[in-house]
Amino acid sequence: MTRTHHPIPTFQLRLALHRDVILGPGKVALLEAIDESGSISSAGRALGMSYKKAWQLIETMNGHFLEALVETHAGGNERGGARLSATGRQVIAHFRALERRLALEDAEDARALLDLLAPGAAETSACDNGA
């Protein structure tokens, strides 16, 4: 039985350890932006975040994986920069693959879960942080 009493919500994949979100859509987008721009500040600007915030997210990710996901080099006379490590690229690939597997149109369990929602649940849960 499929109901249509609610708008189609999205599932967001997050990898959490205790209370720390190690990896989620925003952090993966930051990794992708760094890969594209070669710069933490440019990547942060493209995503509407400060350099400090981008750097904090990178430090969190780098601290939780066996190998740093983002490698940086100082500027000096040349501009500094950042690039993804091989592990960083693997993390993006695995995360995006998991997202595709969880896509609503392909996930029978996701549709079944949505069918259990009460009418109007999507509208009244805006303040729920998923805890």
Q: Model-level pTM?
A: 0.74
| pLDDT tens digits for range 75-127 | 655 567 899 999 999 999 999 998 888 776 666 777 777 788 887 765 655 44
Mean pLDDT calculated for residue range 13-25: 83
Q: Give the bridge partners for 73, in sequence order.
A: 81
Token duo for residue 41: 């500040």
The pLDDT of residue 20 is 78
The pLDDT of residue 14 is 85
Alpha carbons 27 and 40: distance in angstroms, whole number: 12
DSSP letter, residue 105: G
Exposure on the CB side of residue 65, measured as CA atoms within 13 A: 23
Higher pLDDT, residue 12 or 124: 12
Q: Which of 124, 95, 118, 90 is nearest to 25 (CA)?
A: 95
Domain boundaries, the chain: 15-112
Per-residue pLDDT at 24 exceeds 80: yes
Mean pLDDT calculated for residue range 18-31: 89
The pLDDT of residue 16 is 81
Q: Give the SS3 label for residue 103.
A: coil
Per-residue pLDDT at 131 exceeds 50: no
| pLDDT tens digits for range 37-86 | 999 999 999 999 999 999 999 999 999 999 999 999 876 555 678 999 99
Mean pLDDT calculated for residue range 20-49: 94
The pLDDT of residue 125 is 52
Say which CATH architecture domain 15-112 belongs to. Orthogonal Bundle (1.10)
